[in-house]
């Protein structure tokens, strides 16, 4: 069994502990957004797709956008946690940024179908996090060769 280590009398969480927290939060977000899709379809009597209904389309896209990026981010976080040269602070920063981005985007798109500060901020944070994770994965993967 894995336990977080104690350092200087304080509990110190591992990289994998942080990945688990961010994965849990993002999975809950995906389920909440999926539930909103089901509710919108039920309310507007749409059994498949969006039925041409703007409210259903909005819920579908909020869920779809999260489903398109969250799995990639979680795979990146897990791989980064598995690589030795990557510090725990990188997992915390990337996981926190992508999670905040996905929450901001989901709220922005769920409340306004047009451009909104939440969507812009969420997209920017998500893309920056994914680019940083990609670069860090390349660096960490190539580290043994350097």
Domain ranges of the chain: 5-145
Taking 70 as the threshold, does the pLDDT of residue 52 lie above it? yes
Q: Which CATH number describes the domain made up of 5-145?
A: 1.20.120.550
Task: Find, among 76, 35, 80, 92, the residue nearest to 59 by Cα.
Answer: 35
- Whether the pTM exceeds 0.85: the reply is yes
Rounded average pLDDT over 63-83: 97
Rounded average pLDDT over 108-124: 91
Q: How confident is the model at residue 1 (pLDDT cuts 50, 70, 90)?
A: very low
Taking 90 as the threshold, does the pLDDT of residue 11 lie above it? no
What gap in Å lies between CA 24 and CA 75, rounded to an integer? 13
| Summary mean pLDDT of the chain | 92
Taking 60 as the threshold, does the pLDDT of residue 8 lie above it? no
- What is the pLDDT at residue 4? 57
Rounded average pLDDT over 78-89: 95
Strands (E) in the chain, as ranges, are: 5-7, 10-12
Please say whether the beta carbons of 47 and 60 come within 8 A: no
């Amino acid at each position: 069994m894995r336990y977080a280590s104690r350092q200087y009398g304080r509990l110190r969480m591992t990289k994998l502990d942080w990945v688990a927290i961010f994965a849990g939060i993002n999975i809950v977000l995906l389920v909440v957004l999926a539930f909103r899709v089901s509710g919108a379809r039920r309310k507007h009597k749409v059994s498949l797709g969006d039925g041409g209904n703007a409210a259903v389309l909005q819920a579908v896209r909020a869920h779809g956008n999260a489903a398109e990026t969250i799995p990639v981010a979680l795979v990146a976080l897990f791989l980064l946690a598995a690589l030795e040269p990557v510090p725990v602070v990188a997992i915390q920063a990337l996981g926190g940024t992508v999670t905040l981005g996905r929450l901001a985007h989901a709220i922005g798109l769920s409340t306004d179908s047009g451009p909104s500060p939440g969507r812009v901020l969420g997209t920017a944070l998500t893309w920056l996090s994914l680019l940083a994770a990609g670069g860090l994965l390349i660096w960490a993967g190539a580290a043994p060769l350097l």
